[in-house]
Amino acid sequence: MSEALDGSRQMQRLRVAVDAPAHSGIAGPLDYLSERALTPGTLVTVPLGRRELTGIVWDDAEPADEPLDASQLRDIGASLDALPPLSPNWRALLDFSAAYYQRSVGEVALSVLPPQLRELDGKKLQARLKKLDKWTAAVEQARPDPAAAAALRPELSPAQAEALAQLDGLLAPAEAAAAPPPLLLYGVTGSGKTEVYLRAAEHALAAGRQVLVLVPEINLTPQLEARFAERFAGHRIVSLHSGLTPAQRLQHWLAAHLGRAELVLGTRLAVFASMPRLGLIVVDEEHDPSYKQQDGARYSARDLAVYRARLEKVPVILGSATPSLESWQHAQPVSPPAPQTQQTAPQGGEGLLGSGPAKPSKSRYQLLRMPERIGGGALPRVRIFDMNTLPRNKGVTTALTAPLIEALRVRLERGEQSLVFLNRRGYAPVLHCTECGWKSECPHCSAYRVFHKGDRTLRCHHCGFTERVPDACPDCGNQDIAPLGRGTERLEEQLAAALPGARVARIDADSTKHKGALEAQLGAVHAGEVDILVGTQMITKGHDFRRITLVAAVNPDGALFSSDFRAPERLFSLLMQAAGRAGRDAEQAARSEMWVQTWHPQHALYKALARHDFEAFAKSQLEERESAGLPPFSHLALLRAEARTAEAAQAFLAAAAQWAQGQPEAQQLLIYPPVPMSVARVANVERMQMLVESASRAALQRLLWQWMPELHALKREHKGLLRWAVDVDPLAI
Ligand code: ADP
Ligand code: ZN
Ligand code: ZN
């Protein structure tokens, strides 16, 4: 301890990011005093109110800050000096994420670190490090001889070779002055995108760098991990996702943070992994909505991956057969701005994905195309089946049309597999009384409870309220209550009845609740123990099924008429993904088919699907979006409010809108009237939302930034209000 001559202690003022919830109104790090100089990025404990919290030394207090009376500041407690500090880049990523998604930096930073890190002290860390040493040694012992490893690498297809050649130029050394542009790897399903990721990772590893690979769903991590583990035997690979135990999560995080892990594979949370030698980021299935976090800090891991790559000056590969329209638009040549267009966006504003001035005729993202399947396999032929051609009152009541049953039978006879896709789980979405019209409404939500036949329950998929199915109508006592509509459970039952002897299996959130269930079920499909696989979108993504020659979407029309402007984009990519499960084996590709049963066969979306024409679909969608002023041609934020009454939620939003209208940014913004959310009431809470739109991302960000403290204050005035939240770049509206 150093004593100054006048007897006062020599103290340093430091700013510490603490895990204070957003509603406390704390946005930035807090000031504390420390006797010792602490490197920014060091984990510490600090007092806040009567509590002791974990914090991260964020930076030195700026000299320009208002001089604070040091006696008002409290001392930093213990510090975990044995752990290398979190890097300036990591903190910059977190600073940006918190600011962009309107949260406090400490809240975001602490929420993305493994919870057990808070309990770590010098001794526990030592024990962990010994463990890591053992792991490192064990992995290295298992390193196969280079010849055996090389034998696993297939010869690249011309498209893959071309993609990698372009990539090579971008895997620049760390000293490179500028960040390479993000790469959009647009490759049809089965074009071998994963092989491109593997080769790119090889390059980065050879240069001594770490590689981060993101996948949208935890279900897809084992498959990807297996592929990477096989190729990179003897390399240190860890996964980061919510399925890990707290101890595993800490261990994997430490391995990445200490530079021990060379490859980190994970879901959206992994975008925040601390990786001191990061050299490459891969975002597989970049269009997938799962990359958007739906509570707390509602971040997009895909967008943050792009931001992080720019920050660290490393390449990022965004891979997809159906890129998001945002990414697709970024990969189109930018035409010089027409003279008459008004430049509303201020230059150099807070920018995600580059809101800076566009350079003429150069795209922001570099586009790499892989238009063909490996081995010359064709994409399945798409049959848009017109439900209107069925005789009325016959085919109409069943989703399983006679021609589809026939097509399934043919596959069965040939010993091939089929996949039947319906995006609705349970037996039937509604149960109803044929006498009095009673329906299985949820008493707590504006939604029906779904009939699950397996355990004879009525279950609300929104609030979880579950009851046994009544024997008779609760209103009139009629015994004849019947299911309306169809979910995967019922489809499974109907398929089994229509095709006796067929081995039908179902995969959805219900069938895979237990740990290991999904792996076992997928294993059975791969082993050929299943003839017909029924399921939700869970089975349409990513899986490399080898024996499927028929994929059928039995009832996809709903999304055509959704109020959400992204619904067509979603449906198109979902159906393309589903089609991508068929004919992956080149020998079977020629007779592979995708069936789409629809009442609207003339719809442009289905026309484009039948031609596998993503580009035409994207073009028409982008034209619509542009004329309607929707993303990616504008930027959105949603303000949501929840209250016991719709009036209270509405009043809060109206007051918020009124305040915003008074701001100078308002002339660059469009604030829509508050509306109920699509499921307005959940668990007896009324939910409203209000959309804010602007052509200028910077103006929107400025408004949000000023709005936050105002909204905190407004909440206190609106007694009936329970919660509010801001969703920047919302995915579903
Ligand atoms: P995508 O991710 O584009 O859907 P995958 O990477 O899963 O495609 O590749 C499809 C299949 O082709 C996989 O079984 C993969 O092992 C195989 N494959 C990829 N590249 C090659 C290649 N150059 N030569 C032979 N097989 C390949
Ligand atoms: Zn009744
Ligand atoms: Zn409910």
Q: Is the CB of 489 under 6 A from ligand 1?
A: no
**Domains recognised in the chain with CATH numbers:** 2-111 (3.40.1440.60), 122-330 (3.40.50.300), 377-426+487-626 (3.40.50.300), 428-485 (no CATH), 635-728 (3.30.70.100)
Q: Is the CB of 371 under 6 A from ligand 1?
A: no
The predicted structure's pLDDT at residue 2: 41
CA distances from 517 to 522, 581, 613, 715 (A): 9, 21, 36, 44
- Per residue in 550-601, pLDDT tens? 999 999 998 888 889 999 999 999 999 999 888 877 778 788 999 999 999 9
The residue behind tokens 């063909």 is: 372
Task: Please give the residue that has the higher pLDDT: either 626 or 720.
Answer: 626
Nearest CA to ligand 1 atom 20: 192
Residues ≥6 apart with Cβ < 8 Å to 303: 352, 353, 729
- Per residue in 422-454, pLDDT tens? 999 999 999 999 999 999 999 999 999 999 999
Q: Which atom of ligand 1 is nearest to the CA of 374?
A: 12
Q: Which atom of ligand 1 is nearest to the CA of 191?
A: 3
- Per residue in 306-327, pLDDT tens? 999 999 999 999 999 999 999 9
Q: Is the CB of 322 under 6 A from ligand 1?
A: no
pTM recorded for the entire structure: 0.92
Task: Please give the residue that has the higher pLDDT: either 546 or 197.
Answer: 197
Q: What is the share, in percent, of the chain residues with pLDDT greater than 90?
A: 67
Across 69-78, 105-114, 527-536, 640-649, least confident range: 69-78
Percentage helix, strand, coil, to 5, in the chain? 35, 20, 40
* Assigned token pair, 683: 């668990």
Q: Is the pLDDT of residue 63 over 70?
A: no
At residue 380, what are phi and psi to the nearest 5 degrees? -60, 150
Ligand 1 pocket test, pick from 185, 195, 320 with the greatest ligand atom count within 8 Å of Cβ, gives: 195
Nearest CA to ligand 1 atom 5: 192
- When pLDDT is cut at 50, 70 and 90, the band that residue 173 belongs to is low
The predicted structure's pLDDT at residue 347: 37
CA distances from 188 to 171, 330, 424, 542 (A): 24, 19, 26, 12
Q: Is the CB of 192 under 6 A from ligand 1?
A: yes
Q: Quick one: which ligand is closest to 458's CA?
A: 3
By the 8 A CB rule, do 320 and 365 touch? no
Residue from 680, 563, 693 nearest 636 by CA: 693
CA–centroid distance, 298 to ligand 3, in Å, is 24
Between CA 167 and CA 282 the distance in angstroms is 12
Across 19-23, 461-465, 468-472, 478-482, least confident range: 19-23
Q: Quick one: which ligand is closest to 450's CA?
A: 3
CA–centroid distance, 490 to ligand 2, in Å, is 23
Is 614 in a helix, a strand, or coil? helix
Q: Is the CB of 154 under 6 A from ligand 1?
A: yes
What integer is the mean pLDDT of 691-695?
A: 96
Side-by-side strand order, sheet with 237-240: 237-240, 263-266, 210-214, 278-283, 316-320, 183-187, 366-370
Q: Is the pLDDT of residue 188 over 80?
A: yes
Q: Quick one: which ligand is closest to 438's CA?
A: 2
Q: Is the pLDDT of residue 129 over 60?
A: yes
Q: Is the CB of 357 under 6 A from ligand 1?
A: no
Q: Is the pLDDT of residue 394 over 50?
A: yes
Residue from 421, 384, 387 nearest 581 by CA: 421
- When pLDDT is cut at 50, 70 and 90, the band that residue 340 belongs to is very low
Helix/strand/coil (H, E, C) string of 373-432?
A: CHHHCCCCEEEEEEHHHCCCCCHHHCCCCHHHHHHHHHHHHHCCEEEEECCCCCCECEEE
Q: Is the pLDDT of residue 86 over 60?
A: yes
- Per residue in 287-309, pLDDT tens? 999 999 998 899 999 999 999 99
Rg (CA), the chain: 28
CA–centroid distance, 436 to ligand 2, in Å, is 4
The predicted structure's pLDDT at residue 60: 72
CA–centroid distance, 472 to ligand 2, in Å, is 8
- Per residue in 546-560, pLDDT tens? 889 999 999 999 888
CA distances from 155 to 158, 212, 226 (A): 9, 24, 20
The predicted structure's pLDDT at residue 220: 77
- Per residue in 614-659, pLDDT tens? 999 999 999 999 999 999 999 999 999 999 999 999 999 999 999 9
- Strands (DSSP E) contained in 227-289 are 237-240, 263-266, 278-283
CA–centroid distance, 442 to ligand 3, in Å, is 5
Q: Which atom of ligand 1 is nearest to the CA of 544?
A: 7
Between CA 132 and CA 545 the distance in angstroms is 36
Q: What is the share, in percent, of the chain residues with pLDDT greater than 70?
A: 91
User: What value does the mean pLDDT of the chain take?
Assistant: 89
CA–centroid distance, 676 to ligand 2, in Å, is 30
The predicted structure's pLDDT at residue 357: 44
Ligand 1 pocket test, pick from 220, 224, 544 with the greatest ligand atom count within 8 Å of Cβ, gives: 544
Q: Are strands 430-433 and 669-671 parallel, antiparallel or unpaired?
A: unpaired
Q: In sequence order, what are the beta bridge partners of 721?
A: 643
Q: Is the CB of 191 under 6 A from ligand 1?
A: yes
Q: Quick one: which ligand is closest to 542's CA?
A: 1
What is the DSSP secondary-structure string of 534-545? EESGGGTSS---
Is 643 in a helix, a strand, or coil? strand
Ligand 1 pocket test, pick from 152, 191, 194, 548 with the greatest ligand atom count within 8 Å of Cβ, gives: 194
The predicted structure's pLDDT at residue 11: 79
* Assigned token pair, 106: 């400490």
Between CA 683 and CA 704 the distance in angstroms is 29
CA–centroid distance, 528 to ligand 1, in Å, is 20
CA distances from 19 to 107, 113, 271 (A): 4, 11, 19
- Per residue in 239-274, pLDDT tens? 999 889 999 999 999 999 999 999 999 999 999 999
The predicted structure's pLDDT at residue 29: 87
Q: Quick one: which ligand is closest to 441's CA?
A: 3
Task: Please give the residue that has the higher pLDDT: either 132 or 275.
Answer: 275
The predicted structure's pLDDT at residue 171: 65
Task: Please give the residue that has the higher pLDDT: either 36 or 625.
Answer: 625
